[in-house]
Amino acid sequence: QVALLKVLQCAEYNPDQYLWEPEFTLAGRKYKRIDLELSNERNQTLKCSHYVPAIIPENTALPCVIYCHGNSGCRADANEAAVILLPSNITLFALDFAGSGLSGGEYVSLGWHEKQDLKSVVSFLRKNKEVSCIGLWGRSMGAVTSLLYGAEDPSIAGMVLDSAFSNLYELMLELVDVYKIRVPKFTVKMAVHYMRRVIQRRAKFDIMDLNVVQFAPKTFIPALFGHASSDVFIQSHHTDRIHQAYAGDKNLIKFDGDHNSARPQFYYDSVSIFFYNVLNPPQFPSACSNKLEKYYNRGAGTNESLLYEIINGLRAAGTDAGSSSAAAASFTNGAPQNQ
């Protein structure tokens, strides 16, 4: 088995345990969770949930934000987004990308194929008369996915991009140093190129195509960038590069923490204000409540398993880059422990 790309369903979960209830109250108002299935262009099933007010005034369309999770995440990671968005009359759509959570498919592609999953969701929402404009909120792989899609769809109203990488090939080389992989320098690139061939064969995408920063000058959607200053997994200079090259209205927020740490309240406040301004939701009365913390930490996990598996692959492939059996054997393990 090749664990480099095959997701070991580390993000499998029980929706009744990890998602908001089918009917719930938040900030004094009742909401409901509508579960549905969509299909992507590869005929894979996407498990989705749409969080909306239990009662919407007649002839009222509400804006919607699509939450795009990280590579070992799932739609449960959007729980905290519900707390931020729903009280502002912004609905929330969450999905398990193909190869993640409960959706079909074996492989993730760190944004390349996920872009098509996102396209299927946007197409579905465009046909919903109760949805006005659409925003995107992505974290890590989800941020890359949002940026790749946004470069092709200028009708998206705004994007929040948290911890995106700017270039996958360069990130893989950085991870060799970050995790102190003990291989001779001259074998590192050989190992990466070997893994490139493995990924192309099994997951049908080329890591060299994920040069994300090249899409930034072509994208004009208003964007809020965020990155943890102590993130050693995807270092903050990746977001700096994308932000610098980005053509649209933009803002960048740095905050304490690492790649997987909880985001500070001031960052969420900025996200809330950003989406309020770009989506312009209609106003109708809402009670207030401070008891919003219940679902902040109910995500099914945010460790970036595929990237950790790449690290393991680099360790073995660098030891014997010319031997396919040596590299393939290393992919049988999951993410490194104690990360």
Residue extents of the structural domains in the chain: 1-308
Instruction: With CA atoms as reference, report the closest residue to 1 among 254, 337, 333.
Output: 333
Question: Of 73, 224, 236, 70, nearest to 150 (Cα)?
Answer: 224
Report the C-alpha gap between 95 and 50 in whole angstroms.
9
Alpha-carbon span 333 to 133, nearest angstrom: 43
| Whole-number Å distance between alpha carbons of 295 and 67 | 15
Query: Within 10 A of 14 (CB to CB), how many other CB atoms are there?
Result: 10
- Token pair belonging to 24: 């719930």
CA separation for the pair 56, 87 (Å, rounded):
13
> What is the H or E stretch that residue 197 is in?
helix 185-203
CB 156 within 8 A of CB 135: yes
The side-by-side arrangement of strands in the sheet containing 23-26 is 23-26, 29-39, 45-53, 91-95, 62-68, 131-139, 158-162, 223-228, 250-255
Give the angle subtended at the CA of 231 by the CAs of 230 and 237, to the nearest 5°: 95
CB atoms within 10 A of CB 256: 11
234-269: pLDDT as tens digits: 999 999 999 999 999 999 999 999 999 999 999 999
Q: Per-residue confidence of the chain (339 residues) as pLDDT tens digits?
A: 333 333 334 457 899 899 999 999 998 899 999 999 999 999 999 999 999 999 999 899 999 999 999 988 999 999 999 999 999 999 999 999 999 999 999 888 999 999 999 999 999 999 999 999 999 999 999 999 999 999 999 999 999 999 999 999 999 888 877 766 666 766 777 888 888 898 888 888 898 999 999 999 999 999 999 999 999 999 999 999 999 999 999 999 999 999 999 999 999 999 999 999 999 999 876 544 444 444 444 444 445 666 666 666 665 655 554 333 333 333 333 333 333
3-state SS, residue 93: strand
Residue 324 makes CB contacts below 8 A (sequence gap 6+) with: 194
CA separation for the pair 208, 336 (Å, rounded): 24
Question: The domain 1-308: what is its CATH number?
Answer: 3.40.50.1820
Residue 124 and residue 269: Cα distance in Å, rounded?
29
**287-306 confidence digits (pLDDT tens):** 444 444 444 444 444 456 66
d(CA 64, CA 222) in angstroms, rounded, equals 16
